Structure 1
Amino acid sequence: MKEMEDSQILELIQKQFNINIKQIEMIALTYSMGDGIVNIMDIQDVHNRGVRSIEGVGKKTGAGTLVFDTIKKTQIPAVVIPGIHSQSHTDSRMNVFSHSTSPEKLGIAYDALSRGINNFIVSDISSNTVTLAVANGAVVGALDACIFAPGTVHGPLDLESIRQVDAGTCGANEAFMNSGVVKNTSYKNTADLLDGLKDNEDQAKFAIDTLALFASMEIEAMKVLLKDYSTCDCLFLAGSMAEVDPLVEKIHHYLDMKPWILGKWSAATGCARMARDIAKGKKQILGIEVSI
């Protein structure tokens, strides 16, 4: 996609969504970490695509930049969704960390909110793991991928990783991108892990158990945060691993709470719901002000 021209991007949007550009009332865009803005803003008012920097954010492909810039140039009505970070109006105790979650996770949370439940936790488990807490329909905090529970491929830096970074063996971002549960297995990525699970391989089952354990611990930690606001009435799981039955069963076992599984399109669906509601005049989304 990064080699495509603006016109090709627009043609692809129209073809895949079976819509004419002129019919689009609103697009809700996410870009990278979203740490340069606090509110939901008109794309024309956003500087530097709403980020402080694109460094240290995992793998960069350039596709997101192309889509963002194309939509901005064509004057399609669009808003940019922020991430949750130290300047956000969430629980200030969480600001010990500079960043809590990237914008697309808010799409997942908004999709969950559409189920009619206002107090919940949503954990997105895939190549990395990110968990958010929502109280009375507003995000109160989140734990980012580099803080706590590992995903399949990415995870927080442990002592050995820090030593490798200090020694110049690798950069911090590279260490993060190789700290998931597959790091001590023969698998290179999530697809390999899932293939191993299908073949009933012991190392695959162990990796899934590890993933479930840490995801459950992170979810339980966010339940502690929610105690200062409300109760946790529901647990939602999203991401590619949320559709893996052994993982879901383990989390159910650890937490004694049956998860509600959101589909793999949850982030996109949630952002579409945001766009629809903002186009209708909604002034607040998940406790975040709409400044347009």
Structure 2
Amino acid sequence: MTEPADALSDLVSLRVERSGRVAEVTLLGPGKGNAMGPDFWRELPVVFRALDADPNVRAIVLTGSGEHFSYGLDLPAMMPRWAEYLSGGALAGPRTGFLEEIRTLQASVSALAEIRTPVIAAVAGWCIGGGVDVISAADIRLASADAKFSVREVKVAVVADLGSLQRLGAIIGEGHLRELAFTGRDIDAARAERIGLVNDVYPDRDALVAAARALAAEIAANPPLVVRGVKEVLAENTRAQVEAGLRYVSAWNSAFLPSKDLAEATQAFLERREPRFTGE
């Protein structure tokens, strides 16, 4: 891989490299397990829109640095931003601010789905919560044998609101989606392949990344305008449903997310213990 262009060289949470007509975007954190903090949400759409505007980039591989794709949302980094919204009671100002915050994060994830360039997510290790939201917006998903996936928001008293509930139904079917979203359970790479969350599973991370690069190169060798046209036509199959679902869940969470159960989930996370939910 070659060094990134200057326009994308001052990044904190992502690294961009190019080889021929393929760009590779790597999650860097800086939170543990490539957790997704403010820098990630700001940089993600910038990076993908810049690559999409580059006529020399015909396919993109997205992967994580180190052993894991992503632990998901970086709660310690994000909670200070949300404290005012979540402690504002039923007042319209804080609720409106939180609605705008959710929709900003949604737009970051949706950038992957909306660009014209195909995106291949290569997942090794853990892919949790926001990580699943991100790979759901990719066009193709591959995994290493050690990969594990979890739509875990229910475990922290949150309705997943960044795209998993809107996009995964078309990928894995409603039954599997409801099971994962209601339980928050972890699934391994073998189960992910059986239900269609990933196309193929490879022995280790090196084999995974090599396969993702080879697939991206195969796509990049095809007529670029036709490939982009295929993505546009396929996106139209679910576009209206996804957009409506994202609007609905952002309004739902801006109204109903603050709860005693959310506070308990946060406290339990900090204290490394099981939460005790009361439905309040």
Q: TM-score, normalised by structure 1?
A: 0.28
Q: TM-score, normalised by structure 2?
A: 0.29
**If each structure's helix is expressed as a fraction of its own residues, which one has the higher value?**
2
